[in-house]
């Protein structure tokens, strides 16, 4: 078995960060659902069921929260599908060519360093590109 290259380690780290962000997003939704549930219970305990204004407030809040929840869920589904499409395209290219995807240009730190110090040969820390 071959040793993972630097690009493979970068990909694995990026996927782990994506998964961690997704877990935090889902935890945040669960926490907000719990907070909303607490406020709903408190509202129902304090609500005067014979007062029409209280019913109107409850219907308005439920309608507003419902629209927001549906929008967040749809946005989440859209972002997940877009991410999956991009990952499938990247992996299909890797399988088709048999090579790793190469970056289109030099990293920004090296370009800036070359532009600012045109005649110096020192590079920023971590830059291992060959001299032009």
Q: Is the pLDDT at 1 greater than 60, yes or no?
A: no
d(CA 93, CA 108): 24
d(CA 27, CA 97): 39
Name the average pLDDT for the chain.
76
| CA-closest candidate to residue 84, choices 15, 34, 31 | 15
d(CA 71, CA 37): 19
Q: Is the pLDDT at 121 greater than 60, yes or no?
A: no
d(CA 119, CA 127): 17
Average pLDDT estimate for 12-18:
81
User: Where does the pLDDT of residue 119 fall: very low under 50, low under 70, confident under 90, or very high at 90 and above?
Assistant: very low
Report for 69-83, 95-109, 115-129: range of highest mean pLDDT: 69-83
Which residues, 6+ apart, have CB-to-CB distance to 115 below 8 Å?
Answer: none
Domain boundaries, the chain: 6-116
User: Where does the pLDDT of residue 50 fall: very low under 50, low under 70, confident under 90, or very high at 90 and above?
Assistant: very high
Please give the residue that has the higher pLDDT: either 58 or 100. 58
**Would you state the pLDDT for residue 54?**
92
- Structure-token pair, residue 29: 């939704």
Average pLDDT estimate for 78-88:
83
| CA-closest candidate to residue 108, choices 85, 129, 86 | 129
CA–centroid distance for 8 within its chain: 20
Given the structure tokens 């909303």, which residue do they identify? 36
Q: Is the pLDDT at 112 greater than 50, yes or no?
A: no
């Amino acid at each position: 078995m071959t040793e993972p290259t630097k690009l493979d380690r970068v990909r694995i780290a990026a996927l782990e960060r994506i998964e961690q962000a997704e877990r935090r997003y889902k935890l945040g939704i669960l926490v907000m659902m719990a907070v909303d549930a607490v406020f709903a219970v408190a509202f129902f305990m304090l609500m005067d069921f014979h007062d029409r204004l209280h019913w109107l407030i409850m219907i308005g809040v439920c309608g507003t929260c419902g629209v927001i929840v549906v929008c967040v869920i749809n946005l989440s589904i859209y972002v997940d599908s877009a991410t999956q499409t991009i990952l499938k395209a990247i992996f299909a290219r890797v399988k088709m060519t048999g090579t790793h995807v190469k970056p289109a240009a030099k990293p920004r730190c090296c370009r800036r360093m070359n532009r600012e110090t045109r005649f110096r040969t020192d590079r920023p820390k971590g830059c291992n590109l060959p001299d032009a």
